[in-house]
Amino acid sequence: MSVTCLYTLADIDAALAGVAAAIDRDFSDCAEPIVVLVIMKGALVTAGALLPKLTLPIEVDYVHATRYQGNEPASELTWLHRPQVNLAGRRVLLVDDILDQGITLAEVREYCINQGADKVKSMVLARKVLAEPAVINADYEALTVPDQYVFGFGMDDRELSRNLPGIYVKSTS
């Protein structure tokens, strides 16, 4: 089994610069800082690379919600940490690592709406190209990846490889 690099650090940086410009433009009318909620653990690296590219005022918090046990999806979302910032009347940007089925992102978005958020948009580092559409679309997508298990740049392979400076896939060829 070999490992193939789908996107280099330079590829990711350029894609995130484009996403940051779109976010700045779309939130330019905000009177107060937007709340950036980072969905842990996978989006930690993405947020670290994205936030310095944003020029608008932000307040950062995080959500730790997952539906994965190791590399396998579970049937229900597990909440390990809910945001501490008051979301009522606020504009929120969710930052996630990957959009595959969209279940986690949809539930976190619904949570924000139920907390009274005025507007909730979402950004993902990568959208997985699947035969069946996700239950939710992200407002901002930096990259697309094939329907294979990808890792690196915050995404793990059995809790390892989050620190790889690119996005990788294992190939059987």
Tally of domains in the chain? 1
pLDDT at 87: 98
| Within-domain flag for 22 | yes
User: What is the 3-class SS of 15-51, one letter each residue?
Assistant: HHHHHHHHHHHHCCCCCCCEEEEEEECCCHHHHHHHH
3-state secondary structure of 60: strand
Show the tokens assigned to 143. 């990259």
pLDDT at 173: 62
pLDDT at 97: 97
| Within-domain flag for 50 | yes
| Within-domain flag for 75 | no
Number of neighbours of residue 132 by Cβ within 10 angstroms: 7
| Within-domain flag for 74 | no
Domain of residue 160: give its range. Answer: 2-69+84-171
| Within-domain flag for 130 | yes
| Within-domain flag for 79 | no
What pTM did the predictor assign? Answer: 0.94
| Within-domain flag for 161 | yes
pLDDT at 166: 98
pLDDT at 70: 62
- Sheet containing 2-8: order of strands: 2-8, 166-171, 150-151
Taking 50 as the pLDDT cut, the residues of the chain under it are none
| Within-domain flag for 148 | yes
DSSP 155: B
pLDDT at 1: 77
Domain harbouring 96, CATH code:
3.40.50.2020
